[in-house]
Amino acid sequence: MDNPYEQNKSNSTLIVIVAVLLIGLFSGGFFTYMILAPNISYLQNEVRILKKQILNYQPIQNINVYQNLTSLSEIYQKVKDSVVIIRGFTFPDYAQVEGSGFVYNYSGSMFIITNFHVVHDVFNITVTFSNGNSYRAIVRGFDAYVDLAVLELKDAPQSEFKPLNIVSSSKLKVGDPIIAVGNPFGLTGSMTTGIVSQLGRSISESITGGFRIANVIQISAPINPGNSGGPLLNYAGNVVGITTAIVADSQGVGFAIPSDTILREIPWLIETGSYNQHSWMGLSGIDMNYEIAEAMNVNITYGWLICQVVPFGPAQVAGLRGGTTQVEIAGQFYTIGGDIIVAINGTKIVNGDDLSSYLDAKTLPGDVIILTIVRNNQLMNVTLTLGTRPPPPI
């Protein structure tokens, strides 16, 4: 027979053990909660903040970048009636030529802006609007040195003209999106897009007589024959340049005359028919590089090497020196030994693009400039009074 006392003792022991376990679990959970509670509260608060941010989220708007076709379509609708086709015939072969242009309002009078090479040596010039209406045009003024021309239409009614707004190109940056509208290969009203690939380029054309067109905008937008003279636009639909040239057999390497050049010259071309404010130093040269520096035994690999100085020109009067020796480097012949221009008025000149752009944008005939040159491996300053560029040989 079981002992009641022993049975009660066992039960009491079991109760104590269970009680101890429960107290331990409660105490452990309580202390764990006390330790983790701040972190739990922090995480809950973070979740609430995140939910609130998601509910209040608004996409960031950037007026300089358009990522949808609707915006581009709106820009096209805004400008398409302002872009025209320019046609004419060459002499004596009577071949038809074709280019682009756009409408511009100058002091209440309407004109067509285009490239000079589009209308150079061309007769029977006509301008056709997007609605198909065509009118005879005459050249009001031109400047071959920047490949710019202004046309005037005598018989077109005012209702035909829908002018574009021209803004300064000085705010452009490499990477900015741009739009070109024109008539490539006669495909009227074509639109392409791209970016500004580089600024401050200089290019040469046959009509410039060996002088380079300065401060040119390099673009990636595909342009082709027939685009010449059409507007280069920013993503607000304003003109920042005029498409003018491509690199043959390239893909996406085009050039545009900057709008600052247009704005500077338009009053002259309309009111006087020409522009004669291009400064001139009276010299020719080439970009420096490592191989030329090595051949000349100089310790500078940048700058613009003077190869030839025009007799009695500003450079010769200032005492600048041209090359003295002809050498062959990698199959090319160079005239070396002349002064190397490395700065103008304290602005570093890395190459001919820098030189041309500085003279074009910051000087006028008659200005006095300080050239920093390298001669016999020594830096020195030379004072030069700029002359006026001779008329183009056209």
Q: Which residues are catalytic?
A: 117, 147, 228
**DSSP E strands, 38-189:** 83-90, 96-106, 109-114, 122-128, 134-143, 148-153, 177-182
Sign of CA dihedral 70, 71, 72, 78: positive
Helix (H) / strand (E) containing 199: strand 190-204
In this structure, which long-range contacts are made by residues 318-326, counting pairs with CB atoms below 8 Å and at least 24 apart in sequence?
A: 318/371, 318/382, 318/383, 318/384, 318/385, 319/382, 320/283, 320/371, 320/373, 320/382, 320/384, 321/375, 322/283
**How many CA within 13 A on the CB side of residue 358?**
22
Q: CB count, 10 Å around CB of 229?
A: 32
Q: For residue 116, list its beta bridge partners.
A: none
Contact 285, 338 (CB under 8 A): yes
CB-CB neighbours of 277 under 10 Å: 15
* CA 51 to the chain's CA centroid: 43
Q: What is the residue whose two structure tokens read 């198909």? A: 132
Residue 6 one-letter amino acid: E
Contacts of residue 35, Cβ cutoff 8 Å, sequence gap at least 6: none
Task: Yes or no: say if 172 and 217 are a contact pair by the CB < 8 Å rule.
Answer: yes
**DSSP per residue over 176-191, as a string?**
-EEEEEE-GGG-TTEE
CB 115 within 8 A of CB 149: yes
What length does the chain have?
394
Whose tokens are 């410039």? That residue is 208
